[in-house]
Structure 1
Amino acid sequence: MTTPEPVAGLLARLDLIAAGLEASGQALALLGLGSVGAELDRADRYSDLDFFVLARPGQVGALLEDLGWLGGGVVHAFRNTPDGFKVLFAGGVLGEFAVFDEAGLRGAAFVNARVVWRSPDAPADLPLHLRPPEARAQPLSAAQRTHHLGEALTNLLVGVRRFRRGERLSAWQFTQVYALGHALALAADATPPQSGRADPYGVERRFEVRYPALAARLGGCLPGLDGTPGAALAILDLLDGLHLPGWADAGALSAQVRREAGEALADRTPRAVRGRLHG
């Protein structure tokens, strides 16, 4: 099977970076991450170019100060962490990388990297931190479920109240970002995934593939800046349908959210319309 052209372009750019690192004499290895890492079958035209560079002793600063080893074609670069940059290459490829010495690389948080290039004297156990193929996301503990549920419901209540005050941006953030994030963590924990690899850093990655039934309900949970009351009710319904062990204990709090969200909806309904609805 041939490699799709956009993916081939990503891999060609990695090869160019590897050649630049080798020529610099300042690096020991180049590791591809994410969809250009060990899970290369996930790469597509929308993939970013994420990688780590293992520097020779004393060479981290030099590699960060002179980016010539990237192989040219950089149209924008900014240092987003002490260890690395985000860069845009000609042609639209977005890259993000960090440069570490051996101790820094061993302490970095990553899984399933792929060795793109290595010097003969690079550490023998690269790429480090491999995730076993059979690994599954660990279920939430009872304490974690209690935390997520409490945060979801209290964030919904704060969001509805800020909406009624007129703080629509803050209300959107509390309901459709904070509360929904906690609700999705609970939903993913309570729902068997259909397919696709879990992301170790965020449940929202590949959510639509892994949880299609839940994803179909996201529209109601994300109506936008003016839709906080409806979002709060949709997220409550999502949580209610999960049959969580602590749901009954949170009944007073969920009822308060539902009551105030309903009042907020009524506040927005013109009086004449309300009369027809209740006539």
Structure 2
Amino acid sequence: MSAPEWFESLTDELTIGVRERDGLTGLVLLGSASTAGRHRRDEWSDHDFFVIADPGRGARARASLDWLPDQDRIVLTACEGEIGFVVLYDDGHVLEFALAEPTELAGIAVGEVSVVVDDDAGVTAALVEAGQVTAAAGDSFDPENDARLVLVKILLGVGRIRRGEVLNGGQFVRTWAVNHLLRAVRGRFPGRSPEARDTIDPTRRFEVDYPDWARAIAAALDAPPERAAREPSSSRGAFSSLAGMHFPAVLQTRSRADSAGRAGNDRRLVPVSRENDLWPHRHRRCGHRSFSAEDWLRTP
């Protein structure tokens, strides 16, 4: 059996398992597991889905997963939150799913889906329809605000790294700052992002939509976290180009004392100078002046 055939076979077995299990009334395939996303499937594709339980029966349904196919090939299962599960098979294939009552999935956002099991009342289809409306409403960007957050997350991350919290600070630089940067790029250049993009996670398939940006950001992130935040040869193309070229007027940031009026005891941000380090220090005695993203990211 070929890989595509096996994927479809597993989907069929999941469908049978849900239909035959008392208390389960819905199955929704997500992303590449759905019919709409099947063209993207490859050897790394997993099964993402929702399973809907009857009202009042969610906890009991989550107590046993013996309806999943190929039980003898399951290597491990793990919980993600109250209603989420991950299942790993011996060939590396992964199931990621939520098993929940309709009310427990209220407010979800969904993109590409296939409803393959539903009850006579169409509860699952109605849940999916509401989820697609939620996704469409949330599919918007504020690139100027995200660009500001890029700088703040980098500043906080570098500060924690210098405090010795390398792992936590690295998350700020490599994860939070990058996520906001990718959102800012998508918002700033929406014409380069296809309608078929992932409306739930802006980081997905970014390399396909913005290859030059992706290469620059990936090159910066190959370095240790503080260097990734300040590397002139690579991150300047990613962080400084965005902040300095595309948002020059918006990213004027004033010292905290200017807006807070607490001149005696708050920690103000000092602009970068040629003699200073790359990142502005927090200092109690500094002049009041505005400084831009280029000040923050200028290479000494």
Question: 1:178 and 2:195 equivalent?
Answer: no
Distance 1:84 1:236 in 2: 35
Q: Are the structure 2 counterparts of residues 102 and 180 from structure 1 closer, same or farther at C-alpha, using a change threshold of 3 Å?
A: closer
Q: Are the structure 2 counterparts of residues 245 and 106 from structure 1 closer, same or farther at C-alpha, using a change threshold of 3 Å?
A: same
With structure 1 as the length reference, what TM-score do the two structures score?
A: 0.75
Aligned length: 255
Contact 1:145 1:186 in 2 (8 A): yes
1:149 CA drift (Å): 2.7
Distance 2:28 2:114 in 1: 5
1:245 CA drift (Å): 5.6
Contact 2:32 2:39 in 1 (8 A): yes
Q: Are the structure 2 counterparts of residues 212 and 242 from structure 1 closer, same or farther at C-alpha, using a change threshold of 3 Å?
A: farther
Question: 1:200 and 2:217 equivalent?
Answer: no
Distance 2:151 2:114 in 1: 41
Contact 1:160 1:232 in 2 (8 A): no
For 1:67, the aligned partner's letter is L
Contact 1:52 1:99 in 2 (8 A): yes
The partner residue of 1:34 within 27, 31, 35 is: 31
The partner residue of 2:241 within 238, 243, 249 is: 238
Distance 1:70 1:224 in 2: 42
1:255 CA drift (Å): 5.8
Contact 2:147 2:243 in 1 (8 A): no
Structure having the larger proportion of residues in helix? 1
With structure 2 as the length reference, what TM-score do the two structures score?
A: 0.70
Task: Select between 54-63 and 184-193 the one with higher mean Cα deviation.
Answer: 54-63
Deviations 1:7-27 (A, max 9, x none): 332221121121122222322
For 1:35, the aligned partner's letter is S
Q: Are the structure 2 counterparts of residues 79 and 221 from structure 1 closer, same or farther at C-alpha, using a change threshold of 3 Å?
A: same
For 2:247, the aligned partner's letter is L
For 2:59, the aligned partner's letter is G
1:211 CA drift (Å): 1.0
Deviations 1:193-228 (A, max 9, x none): 254732223221100011112112123321332624
Structure 2 match to 1:275: none
Structure 2 match to 1:99: 99
Query: RCO greater where, 1 or 2, for CA within 8 Å and sep 6 or more?
Result: 1
1:102-141 superposed matches below 5 A: 102-119=102-119, 121-123=120-122, 126=125, 128-129=128-129, 131=132, 138-140=139-141
Question: 1:225 and 2:224 equivalent?
Answer: yes
SS of residue in 2 equivalent to 1:260 = coil
1:8-157 superposed matches below 5 A: 8-37=5-34, 38-71=36-69, 72=71, 73-119=73-119, 121-123=120-122, 126=125, 128-129=128-129, 131=132, 138-140=139-141, 144-157=142-155
Contact 1:175 1:232 in 2 (8 A): no
What is the root-mean-square deviation in Å for CA atoms of aligned residues? 3.5
Structure 2 match to 1:5: 2
Distance 1:262 1:34 in 2: 40
Distance 1:181 1:80 in 2: 21
Task: Select between 151-160 and 35-44 the one with higher mean Cα deviation.
Answer: 151-160
The runs of 5 or more residues in structure 2 that have no matched partner are: 256-268, 281-300
Contact 1:74 1:88 in 2 (8 A): yes
Distance 1:248 1:177 in 2: 21
Distance 1:80 1:125 in 2: 22
Q: Are the structure 2 counterparts of residues 257 and 173 from structure 1 closer, same or farther at C-alpha, using a change threshold of 3 Å?
A: farther
1:114 CA drift (Å): 0.4
Q: Are the structure 2 counterparts of residues 232 and 157 from structure 1 closer, same or farther at C-alpha, using a change threshold of 3 Å?
A: farther
Distance 2:107 2:221 in 1: 37
Structure 1 match to 2:285: none
Contact 1:152 1:180 in 2 (8 A): yes
